[in-house]
Amino acid sequence: MLSMAQEVSIDLGARSYRIVIGGGLLAEPTSYEGLPRASAALIVSNTTVAPLYAAALRKALTGRYSKIYELQLPDGEEHKSWQILQRIFDVLLEQGCDRKTVLFALGGGVVGDMTGFAAASYMRGVPFVQVPTTLLSQVDSSVGGKTGINHPLGKNMVGAFYQPQRVVCDLDVLATLPAREFSAGLAEVIKYGPIADMDFFDWLERSMDDLMAHESAALARAVRRSCEIKAAVVGEDERESGLRAVLNFGHTFGHAIEAGMGYGVWLHGEGVAAGMVMAAELSRRLGLVDEIFVERLVSLIRRAGLPTHGPILDDKNNAWRYLQLMRGDKKSEAGEIRFVLIESPGKAVVRSAPDGLVSEVIDACCR
């Protein structure tokens, strides 16, 4: 219901935009008021999401654009490639779309990242709108302007920082999300507690059962607070020169898990969940947090239906394999791995750690 809609503003000067959050927003024409004028729009979706929501979005946009084109990409992280991205450019050029054409990303993180990068690059930049249909993309990937595609040698290695004109988070669409993907999204929600807001963490502990039951008021609060925290961090550091890195709590280990298992075997949020446990344990062994904090985090992650241990990536030398994968991560500099650690509950810090200690953590946290 539109009257329940909430808003979060992302303050980035000329690139500021609004996130609107609520039930039924996707199909509401008012959700798209005030967007740049254009004669054409392109809805980019995938073969899973389009049958569910593309018609409703198109209907909501009718009257705003005289031509509305649609493109369905294949579903899945393995299709986050240049070859598939090229299809967006193909449609735009075949239809003679000009540099004012507005792109709508209707789907999860893969659709959002690819559509965003296409918008950043088509004629050197056209407007785009995020309509995220997964919890993960509502609380994380659709906010902050990171766009991109994978390269055979690494994930998200090619892309752009490019801000959407708006993010429309329709909470009703989460009802159709598979349980495993819903849990994966909760990993990023949980993340915001240890790095920024332990009151939110306390609330998550009290509300995890409601969230797992898709209780709408709880969902709205979880999405809004996640977006608020991300907005605050991104507002301070749009291009990830420093502070923004704290959003990657759990991601250094998590990316190694995703890459080591082969993309798609573990969901991103699952890798982040196990990665947060490992990063928290590393923080503990460095004397930054106590065992109680780690246990609380592990318990909350478990209640969200997420893994609390990393997988064995190499039977012979598992820790070495993790380290090797982490050294290839985007955040590493001159081969040094940068970890996002918890300095104290509610506050993150980015720093390196001795390989020996990291190996011990990997050994303790994988099975």
Query: Does 16 participate in binding a second copy (rule CB under 8 A)?
Result: no
Range in contact with a second copy (rule: CB under 8 A) among 82-90, 196-204, 280-288, 299-307: 82-90
The single residue among 146, 166, 244, 251 that binds a second copy, judged by CB under 8 A, is: 146
Query: Does 351 participate in binding a second copy (rule CB under 8 A)?
Result: no
The single residue among 4, 27, 158, 261 that binds a second copy, judged by CB under 8 A, is: 158
Query: Does 125 participate in binding a second copy (rule CB under 8 A)?
Result: yes
Q: How many CA atoms lie within 13 A of 199 on its CB side?
A: 3
37 to 29, 61, 66, 124, 135: CA distances (angstroms) = 14, 12, 11, 18, 29
Distance CA 280, CA 292 (A): 11
Query: Does 212 participate in binding a second copy (rule CB under 8 A)?
Result: no
Q: Is 251 a catalytic residue?
A: yes
Residue of 33, 37, 124, 316 with catalytic role: 124
The single residue among 42, 73, 120, 227 that binds a second copy, judged by CB under 8 A, is: 120
Query: Does 240 participate in binding a second copy (rule CB under 8 A)?
Result: yes
Among the listed residues 249, 302, 247, the one whose alpha carbon sits nearest the alpha carbon of residue 278: 249
Range in contact with a second copy (rule: CB under 8 A) among 222-230, 248-256, 262-270, 327-335: 327-335
Q: Is residue 122 within 8 Å of 94, Cβ to Cβ?
A: no
The single residue among 18, 48, 84, 161 that binds a second copy, judged by CB under 8 A, is: 161
User: Residue-wise over 274-304: b if at least 16 C-beta within 10 A, else e?
Assistant: bbbbbbbbbbbbbebbeeebbebbbebbebb
Query: Does 99 participate in binding a second copy (rule CB under 8 A)?
Result: yes
Kind of pairing, strands 128-132 and 146-151? unpaired
Q: What's the residue count for the chain?
A: 367
Among the listed residues 27, 17, 18, 22, the one whose alpha carbon sits nearest the alpha carbon of residue 6: 22
Query: Does 323 participate in binding a second copy (rule CB under 8 A)?
Result: no
Angle at 128 between CA 126 and CA 134, to 5 degrees: 155
* Binding-site residues for NAD(+): 75-80, 109-113, 133-134, 146, 155
Q: Which residues are catalytic?
A: 124, 146, 188, 230, 240, 244, 248, 251, 255, 268
Would you tell me which residues interact with a second copy (CB under 8 A)?
39, 82, 86, 89-90, 93-94, 96, 98-100, 120-125, 146-148, 151, 153-154, 156-161, 239-240, 327-328, 330-335
* Binding-site residues: 75-80, 109-113, 133-134, 146, 155, 188, 251, 268
